Amino acid sequence: MSTAPELHVERFADSATLAATLAGRVASCLRERIARGGTASFAVSGGRTPVHFFEALSTQDLPWAKVAFTLVDERWVRETSDRSNARLVRQHLLKGPAAAAKFVPLANDAPTPEEGLFALNEALEALTWPLACAVLGMGDDGHTASFFPGGDRLEEALDPEGGLGLLPMRAPGAGEPRITLTLPVLLAADALFLHIEGEEKRRVLARALDEGPASEMPVRAVLRAPRPPEIFWCP
Ligand SMILES: O=C(O)[C@H](O)[C@@H](O)[C@H](O)[C@H](O)COP(=O)(O)O
């Protein structure tokens, strides 16, 4: 895989080994922040990739009652939908020791993300900002979070000086309307991880590391940040 020199790619033999290591890293970030400030928060991505990681994280030995977390992004669907990232979190992460953490979902009963935004921003005040860490995923189209190619608010979401932490997003490849943390909020985290699995994602990452506009493959905005994410990959 060709990478810019400053990018650190950790390769693992399989998903279980990757999950255990990433869960340990996230737990260390949280412990460090709790030691400094008493509480800590993080954000995770949804999709299909993070199931093993969620399971591994849920068993970490942490003072979970001091932890609050949210999603990096969410599809604007009910939690009964199997497209709901909150549903995935409740099934695979918010259980065992981790059930003592506070989970702030990124969707509510409002008909649209625009109408739900105010209440979500209020709910997010329960988190400790900036985040101790955030774990991103990546789609085959080069999106990360809900930074989709062709996203109607992509420019705003990727603006390093943007004042908003949470934005609705609609895009041709996104399916439902989405809601997403913005780039500055993610980059402000103490640590940022990009978790990808499989040969296709490896090829997508290689393309993203080439020159080209971030609007075409928005994950580039993260990869080109002054402090890029640590990349976790397995076949
Ligand atoms: O809600 C979402 O879709 C995600 O948070 C999204 O950004 C995800 O990380 C990628 O689409 C990868 O998804 P997969 O893990 O399903 O490939």
The predicted structure's pLDDT at residue 7: 83
Quote the pLDDT of residue 180: 98
Mean pLDDT per 10-residue run, the chain (235 residues)? 66 98 98 98 97 98 98 98 98 98 98 98 98 98 98 97 95 96 98 98 97 98 96 98
The count of other CB atoms within 10 Å of the CB of residue 168 is 20
How far does the centroid of ligand 1 lie from the alpha carbon of residue 215, in Å?
A: 18
pLDDT per residue as tens digits for the range 161-210: 998 999 999 999 999 999 999 999 999 999 999 999 999 999 999 999 99
Per the CB < 8 A criterion, the answer to whether 88 and 103 are in contact is: no
Q: What is the reported pLDDT for 184? A: 97
pLDDT of residue 5: 45
* CA gap 169, 1 in Å, rounded: 31
CB of 84 within 6 A of ligand 1: the answer is no
Whether 42 and 131 have beta carbons less than 8 Å apart is answered as yes
Mean pLDDT value across the chain: 96
The dihedral formed by the CA atoms of 84, 142, 186 and 158, expressed in degrees to the nearest 10 = -110
Q: Decide: 3 and 225 in contact? Cβ < 8 Å.
A: no
All domains of the chain, ordered by start, with CATH?
9-234 (3.40.50.1360)
Q: Is 229 in the pocket of ligand 1 (CB under 6 A)?
A: no
pTM of the model: 0.97
Task: Give, in order, the Cα–Cα distances in Å from 13 to each of 182, 191, 230.
Answer: 32, 23, 17
Burial class from Cβ neighbours inside 10 Å (0-12, 13-18, 19+) for residue 79 reads middle
Ligand 1 pocket test target in 15, 48, 73, 182 with most atoms within 8 Å of CB: 73
Dihedral sign, Cα of residue 205, residue 207, residue 211, residue 217: negative
- Which atom of ligand 1 has the smallest separation from the CA of 146? 7
| Cβ 197 under 6 angstroms from ligand 1 | no
